[in-house]
Structure 1
Amino acid sequence: MFATNMDSARDVGGAPSTVLIPMRFVWPYGGRSVFLSGSFARWSELIPMTPVEGCPTVFQAIYSVTPGYHQYKFFVDGEWRHDEHQPYVSGEYGLVNTVLLATDPNFFHPNVTPEITSGSNMEEDTEAFRRLVRITDGNLTDVVPRITEGDLQGSRHRISVFLSAHTTYELLPESGKVVALDVDLPVKQAFHILHEQGIPLAPLWDFSKGQFVGVLTASDFILILRELGNHGSNLTEEELETHTIAAWKEGKAYLNGQIDGHGRALPRRFIHAGPYDNMKDVVLKLLQNEVATVPIIHSSSEDGTFPQLLHLASLSGILKCICRYFRHSSSSLPILQAPIGELHVGTWVPEIGESNCRPLAMLRPSASLSAALNLLVQAQVSSIPIVDDNDSLVDIYCRSDITALAKDRAYAHINLNEMTIHQALQLGQDSYSPFEPRSQRCQMCLRSDSLHKVMERLANPGVRRLVIVEAGSKRVEGIVSLSDIFKFLLG
């Protein structure tokens, strides 16, 4: 077991200036041509705003900004305007709207109140801005009818009935392999196995107890690497060579404060399912425990001895069953034809003024690997969109990418603060297995795509989330994960 500095272990800040948070700026008051400009673009750019589908008087633009205080203004039909219904300040150059994004990208607190008078360093050059204006005509598409509450509840009921009537036994393939690891295995060797086998996690077997006791995931490797870079930790690279999975799990309990009154690590409940559990119960277990996969374990004895590991039940496997069952009877589920953008599914770019939304956080390819790992832990997400200088999606950095560093002990030769995300992705570019092909990792869809199409794509092996992008520009609009879909389907 190892000791650790608890404060430094929980410090997940890390280079906040590299974090980008896409925001949806809205001008709902009409106009022929509407542009956005602000301090986040150094007041040197006019950002075109386009009409919202079916609402020709509402204009929007998505632009990524860093956490902090920003000012912005609208250029409507050749005149500078501000939104009186959003926070604004009065300064040397007139009235400008304001937004304050907290340093922690997990929270969005626009707590600037209207009509606060303060100085402004905005350098407006109206004539220069006018020369940038290019009038464009937006083509509006037909309005898609919204589904009724009856359609929604009826569809949810049919899906609930289906899941309750089918068991996880139906998820078992005709042939396949399941990898389990002994808790006495060194963690370094364990992550090498995960990488070589192309799997994101593995159940843990305790020989002395004769039972499965937990699961080793990519998240464990992330925490270990962060501990190696933590000067307050006693875990060294040499110890990592012999440090067992059991020792790490006990150390992790101390790290997370999961200890009893006597200073002993509290045993964590092993989350698993049986082959005859119905799929709905398994889905609820996965959602409640915030995991995407659980082992299916069967024991022929009443006391649970001699357990057999049969398969890993995942949300994607269960979603595939739903898609297969309703593929030829989609009319019985009206919600399947609804556009994903019309449904309250997933995490979307918040609009200015929405104080109860969790914003998306993105990074540039030049951001450090340390910033990416900190953000994965801090935001408790499985992946981070990577965008170029135009905020267009170019890749995704996932938790499972970290296992590429186990190859040839690459983790021992890198500095997390110096290696960029681009370099980390290049390091693992030739290392992706059939479990998660490179071509499937950066999956995109449009807000106009139907829920059925989104579900079909998420049901593919290795695809755990879809990034919603603007057509053409590929700017990120939102993310829909497997858990988002099931939370929506089950209400």
Structure 2
Amino acid sequence: MFPPGTDGTQDAGGISGGMAIPTRFVWPYGGNRVFLIGSFTRWTERLPMAPVEDCPTVFQAIYSLAPGVHQYMFFVDGVWRHDERQPHVVGNYGIVNTLILNQEPNPMHSPLIPGAHGSRMNMDVDHENSSVVESNLRISEADIGTSCEHISEFLSTRTAYELLPDSGKVIALDVSLPVKQAFHILYEQGIPVAPLLDTCNGEFVGVLSPLDFILILKELSSHGSNLTEEELETHTISAWKEAKQQLSSQIAIHGRQSQRQLIHAGPYDSLKDVALKILQNHVTTIPVVHSSLQEESFPHLLHLASLSGILKCICRHFKHSRSSLPILQQAICTIPLGTWVSRIGESNGKQLAMLRPNESLSSALSLLVQAQVSSIPIVDETDCLLDTYSRSDITSLAKDKAYARINLDETSIYQALQLRNDANSPHGSFNAQRFQICIRSDSLQKVMEQLAYPGVRRLIIVEAGSNRVEGIISLSDVFKFLFGLP
């Protein structure tokens, strides 16, 4: 991740004749595999950290350092982290911890074991000369505006062609397929959505998504439903889309009526226009379609464009030009981004939706629709994160016709999560990661890189050490912030 020799601070071996000082580094926030990396390893070697005896959630490593200024980070279960309770600065690699060692070595003490009330893990170094540059974590509104303008200009000069992979497949479903078969295909292929093709008219007419299946299951479970489970065998996608037009007058779908016209993009549309189409129409993906000038030929489905793909282009382009975008190094808690619990920061007007594992699956599905979100944090009594339930998880009920055996009101979220884990498809990637987390001091760049990963649509902000949910940042939050949209 980090090229050797690019940091300006001195490493342990870089001072000729300097006395090496044994220094203990501690990561007290748990994990399975924790590594230490820093300027003293030239940002290349990862030093393994071992759990403290009788305290498996605390990791430590001892490394001899020369006097001077050092920067470091922790690599915890594949995620770059820093300890916000220790001195930290904005460095070349985002927010990093920093320490200053005096010329005279200080004897090491026994490790602190965080068992007694109020105890805290610390590194046995002199922090009196260390400086925490908190003021640098905030920039002016003008600098924020300039950074966002640079990104907007970049997206205006790039087209949807840049989203097309070198190789791959895009699966489309014929509208004449039975609904049941269509969702079995989504599950078996491990894909969350699929464009709909009307072969009779030779055009793409829409997208089948997990939201459709959620609405179908809710309709099946409601009293007086005209659509029975047996009819799913023969009830076609086109028939369901017609029924959905009627349902939309009774069920709030994104606060608007369902649209009959396909929302799509052309290969020569700018990335900014593609992103705005996704945001303005409250969808997750839109097909990139190339229409031939010949009337008798079918349109070519090139790709399914998503905000994560566009964000990946932004991260790749500005990876080596961070100085031109100071906003990227800002901690997410210092900019108006995401939805936060009231005790942490001012909300953006939306309520942070969370559920307990003993609540019903029906309540989770209703909240996914009503709150217009892609996933919901599942928390314990102290609001600590346990898991998430996502719209795409609904396709796991296609395995062995589980949807026909369960009652939405009687099945708990915990039981639904077990069904999801048992039915997790080895073919798909959208269920590969259950959820992604970040902490409030993470930089915007780090958050954007996480959200650019395929299948990740939201990051849950947790409190370091306790995993208490503090907020949520979605892909749409990031793009609304970059575009200055409410």
**Same-fold call, TM cutoff 0.5:** yes
1:221–1:402 CA contact under 8 A, matched in 2? yes
Corresponding letter in the other structure for 2:364: A
Pairing partner for 1:192 from 181, 184, 188: 184
Separation (CA, whole Å) in 1 of partners of 2:213 and 2:146: 43
TM-score by length of 2: 0.69
Identify the residue that residue 444 of structure 1 maps to in structure 2: 437
Identify the residue that residue 164 of structure 1 maps to in structure 2: 156
Separation (CA, whole Å) in 1 of partners of 2:346 and 2:315: 34
2:190–2:430 CA contact under 8 A, matched in 1? no
Structure 1 pair 356/290, CA: closer, same or farther in 2 (3 Å)? closer
Structure 1 pair 410/357, CA: closer, same or farther in 2 (3 Å)? same
Pairing partner for 2:468 from 451, 469, 475: 475
Corresponding letter in the other structure for 2:194: A
1:350–1:357 CA contact under 8 A, matched in 2? no
Q: CA deviation at 1:152?
A: 0.9
Percent of counterpart pairs with the same letter? 66
Matched, 1:410 2:366: no
Please, which runs of 5 or more residues in structure 2 have no aligned partner? 1-83, 87-116, 123-130, 251-256
Q: CA deviation at 1:293?
A: 0.7
Pairing partner for 1:250 from 238, 242, 254: 242
Structure 1 pair 303/368, CA: closer, same or farther in 2 (3 Å)? same
Question: Can you list the C-alpha shifts for 1:5-39, whole angstroms capped at 9, x where unaligned?
Answer: xxxxxxxxxxxxxxxxxxxxxxxxxxxxxxxxxxx
TM-score by length of 1: 0.68
1:345–1:488 CA contact under 8 A, matched in 2? yes
Q: CA deviation at 1:207?
A: 1.4
Identify the residue that residue 223 of structure 1 maps to in structure 2: 215
Question: Can you list the C-alpha shifts for 1:85-118, whole angstroms capped at 9, x where unaligned?
Answer: xxxxxxxxxxxxxxxxxxxxxxxxxxxxxxxxxx
Matches within 5 A, 1:31-430: 142-145=133-136, 146-257=138-249, 268-301=260-293, 305-351=297-343, 357-430=349-422
Q: CA deviation at 1:305?
A: 4.9
Separation (CA, whole Å) in 2 of partners of 1:267 and 1:348: 31
Corresponding letter in the other structure for 2:271: M
Structure 1 pair 387/481, CA: closer, same or farther in 2 (3 Å)? same
2:278–2:284 CA contact under 8 A, matched in 1? yes
Corresponding letter in the other structure for 2:167: S
1:316–1:460 CA contact under 8 A, matched in 2? yes
Corresponding letter in the other structure for 2:481: F
Higher RCO, 1 or 2 (CA under 8 Å, sep at least 6)?
1
Structure 1 pair 468/181, CA: closer, same or farther in 2 (3 Å)? same
Separation (CA, whole Å) in 1 of partners of 2:346 and 2:269: 41
Structure 1 pair 353/192, CA: closer, same or farther in 2 (3 Å)? closer
Separation (CA, whole Å) in 2 of partners of 1:465 and 1:432: 21
1:275–1:298 CA contact under 8 A, matched in 2? yes
Corresponding letter in the other structure for 2:331: P
Q: CA deviation at 1:149?
A: 1.6
Structure 1 pair 346/366, CA: closer, same or farther in 2 (3 Å)? same
Q: CA deviation at 1:302?
A: 6.4
Matched, 1:453 2:446: yes
Separation (CA, whole Å) in 1 of partners of 2:303 and 2:371: 30
Separation (CA, whole Å) in 1 of partners of 2:455 and 2:400: 24
Separation (CA, whole Å) in 2 of partners of 1:326 and 1:435: 30
What secondary structure, in the 3-state scheme, does the structure 2 residue paired with 1:440 have? coil
Q: CA deviation at 1:300?
A: 2.2
Q: CA deviation at 1:461?
A: 0.8
Question: Can you list the C-alpha shifts for 1:340-359, whole angstroms capped at 9, x where unaligned?
Answer: 11111111112499797322
Identify the residue that residue 106 of structure 1 maps to in structure 2: none
Corresponding letter in the other structure for 1:240: L
Q: What's the RMSD between the two structures over aligned residues?
A: 2.6
Structure 1 pair 364/141, CA: closer, same or farther in 2 (3 Å)? farther
Separation (CA, whole Å) in 2 of partners of 1:436 and 1:291: 19
Corresponding letter in the other structure for 2:291: S
Structure 1 pair 150/267, CA: closer, same or farther in 2 (3 Å)? closer
Structure 1 pair 248/349, CA: closer, same or farther in 2 (3 Å)? same
